Amino acid sequence: MSESISLPDMITRTLKEVGGTSALNDLFSEDQYIDHASWHKTLLPALRDLPRKQTQNVLEHILTWDPKGIETYFYHHHYFVMKFIAERGERLKNRNFLKKQIDDFFCFSWNDGKSRSFDGNKHWQRFVHWVSSVTDSSVSSILKETLLSIAKNERLDGWLRGSCAQALGKLGIKNQAVDLLLLITEDETQDDGLRSFCSKAVGTSGVKDKTVVKRLLALIEDEEQGDWLRSSCAEAIGKLGVKDKTVVKRLLTLIQDKKQGGWLRGSYAEALGTLSTKDKTVKERLLTLAQDETQDAWLRKGCAKAILKLGVKEKAVKLLILLMEEKNLDGLLRNSCAEAVGSSSVKEKAVVERLLYLTEDEDQDVLLRRFCAEAIGNSGIKNKEVIEHLLTLAEDQTQESALRSSSTRAIGTLGVNDKAVVERLLTLAEDKYMAGVLRRSCIDAVGKSGVKDDQVITRLLSLAEDDMQYDVLRSFCAKAIEKLGVKDKSVVGRLLTLAEDENQDGFLRHFCAKAIGRLDLKIKDKAVDILIELYFAHSEKITDEARLIYDALWNLTAGNKSD
């Protein structure tokens, strides 16, 4: 009977017998993306059992492993090394090696505050996630020393200091991190954007300390401070959840202070709602203010949103709709009310009908009508009559294009799995005389529908392959096929042909490559090669298109999405 051996044990044995790095070339040959989850389950355990010097040799080899020439931009292999030293760094007995890797990883991740990705700053997010995973005492010590020295250095960029202070909280020294964030928040020489960022970071720190709340309250009550900062500090207090009676009383006093602006008082009310206080008197006071037509409308909206958070949903939604229907009020306020109603989780047909009435009312401001349409989409109610009304609006050529697009976006958000609806959306998308924004939103809605009918896919592919269509629309068709998860070989093959065609626009090739990389793992390498070619073709890596390609590459080559 043959010996049973686990994959990590087999890799360990191979590395010990062959000598490490030469064996790695064979091990990596079938999977060039070292950050794949499978490597975390196999190679990481194997490295834990190797002799110390051999382990470091393997790690150094991984750091130089770059068959695609993209590590300078992505650091996936480096991240694999960081995963190892996060839990076993002390075992290497080489502080210089550890510090160099931490410094390199930090500098790459911060990148002078510039994001290489389009969808958020993936690198800094991954760095902060990694910091929270550190359990090794040596690595933790180096990190604390590095981050503290930066966060305390007043000569350095404030955004860098604030970000490092926030990261420090992940190392178990939350109180010190919060104190540093508060120092920046209180520093009037810094711009309000940075100070607001730091105050919000305090709010998400989880430090339920009355002293912290007291410092935030001091800023809120200081009328010399900007409204944006004062609102952010109130938001932080709400998220910290310190339900101290004094705090609640002081917030209520500010809410009722008519010398304060209505928008600011409304933000204080929302903060009080986030606190989730169980005090019935507070609910009653907020409800009374929300119902009082003599009060500032921004305050009433804030109070309505507060009682919505406190569980008085039906009354809150009714009040928000009343504000939304008041034509004489500020447009931004009415739009905000529509947004709040759509995300309220109150799934009542009557609410949707009132939103629909406003959407169809041509006497209303067109921006409000668009917000109401999108609020219907966020409601989650897939009523056939409502869908028909939205489709009719989308097909009505007398309506503004942006409103028609909002109607189709609502259908897409609802995920209407109905072939007849999808066919009508495709008919709009195929009409060259329709506005581009409408055609794109129709294709996007088709991608979200879940309808994988052969005729639907054929029509999407025909649009994608049609050189007479504009390239962004063709790209949206490839994206829709990806969203639908169509893995038919002939479909993927046609997308691959477009992706490989150098005569096609780079934007289209990028979306086709991204789609095939997702739909067929067997040809993912081809997709990656195409995306690398397109990425390197951009001399400026900070353009929107370059960042979108970067995100596509990241998602295809990074194995652990949560990181």
Please tell me whether residues 466 and 552 are part of one structural domain.
Answer: yes
- Which structural domain, as residue segments, surrounds residue 510? 452-563
Least confident of 119-123, 452-456, 462-466, 546-550: 119-123
Question: Cα–chain-centroid distance for residue 177?
Answer: 24
- What's the total number of domains in the chain? 3
CA-CA distance, 17 to 32, in Å (whole number)?
A: 23
- Does a structural domain hold residue 243? no
Residues 103-156 have pLDDT tens digits of 999 999 999 999 999 988 899 999 999 999 999 999 999 999 999 999 999 999
- 3-state SS class at 296: coil
DSSP state for residue 497 in the 8-state scheme: H
Most confident option among 27-36, 73-82, 417-426: 417-426
Please tell me whether residues 481 and 557 are part of one structural domain.
Answer: yes
Q: Which of 428, 449, 470 is the last residue of a domain?
A: 449
Which two tokens mark 263?
């928008």
- Does a structural domain hold residue 187? no
CA-CA distance, 62 to 40, in Å (whole number)?
A: 13
Query: What percent of the chain has a predicted confidence (pLDDT) above 90?
Result: 76
Q: Which of 430, 449, 468 is the last residue of a domain?
A: 449
The pairs formed by 21-28 with CB atoms below 8 angstroms and a separation of 24 or more are 21/57, 21/58, 21/61, 24/58, 24/61, 24/62, 24/65, 28/65, 28/67
Angle at 175 between CA 173 and CA 181, to 5 degrees: 105
- Does a structural domain hold residue 338? yes
Q: Which of 396, 431, 449 is the last residue of a domain?
A: 449
Residues 368-383 have pLDDT tens digits of 999 999 999 998 888 8
The counts of H helices and E strands in the chain are 32, 0
The CATH number of the domain where 463 resides is what?
Answer: 1.25.10
- Does a structural domain hold residue 263? no
Q: Which helix (H) or strand (E) holds 175?
A: helix 174-186
pLDDT over threshold 70, residue 15 = no
Nearest to 376 by CA among 475, 388, 364: 388
DSSP state for residue 200 in the 8-state scheme: H
Query: What percent of the chain has a predicted confidence (pLDDT) above 70?
Result: 92
Please tell me whether residues 517 and 536 are part of one structural domain.
Answer: yes
- 3-state SS class at 543: coil
pLDDT over threshold 90, residue 63 = no
Q: How confident is the model at residue 68 (pLDDT cuts 50, 70, 90)?
A: confident
Please tell me whether residues 485 and 441 are part of one structural domain.
Answer: no
Decide if 76 contacts 558 (C-beta within 8 A). yes
CA 318 to each of CA 14, 269, 373: distance values in angstroms, whole numbers, following the listed order: 69, 18, 18
CA-CA distance, 308 to 240, in Å (whole number)?
A: 19
- Does a structural domain hold residue 156? no
CB contact set of 276 (below 8 Å; sequence gap of 6+): 241, 243, 309, 310
Phi, psi of 68 (to 5 degrees): -100, -5
For 182-198, what is the HEC assignment?
HHHHHCCCCCHHHHHHH
Where does 65-121 have alpha helices with state H? 71-74, 76-88, 95-110
Please tell me whether residues 418 and 459 are part of one structural domain.
Answer: no
- Does a structural domain hold residue 204? no
Please tell me whether residues 352 and 440 are part of one structural domain.
Answer: no
Please tell me whether residues 499 and 549 are part of one structural domain.
Answer: yes
pLDDT of residue 123: 92
Where does 466-523 have alpha helices with state H? 471-484, 489-500, 506-519
DSSP state for residue 418 in the 8-state scheme: -
Please tell me whether residues 461 and 416 are part of one structural domain.
Answer: no
Residues 326-361 have pLDDT tens digits of 999 999 999 999 999 988 877 788 899 999 999 999
Please tell me whether residues 537 and 466 are part of one structural domain.
Answer: yes
Please tell me whether residues 462 and 540 are part of one structural domain.
Answer: yes
The CATH number of the domain where 392 resides is what?
Answer: 1.25.10.10
Please tell me whether residues 429 and 513 are part of one structural domain.
Answer: no
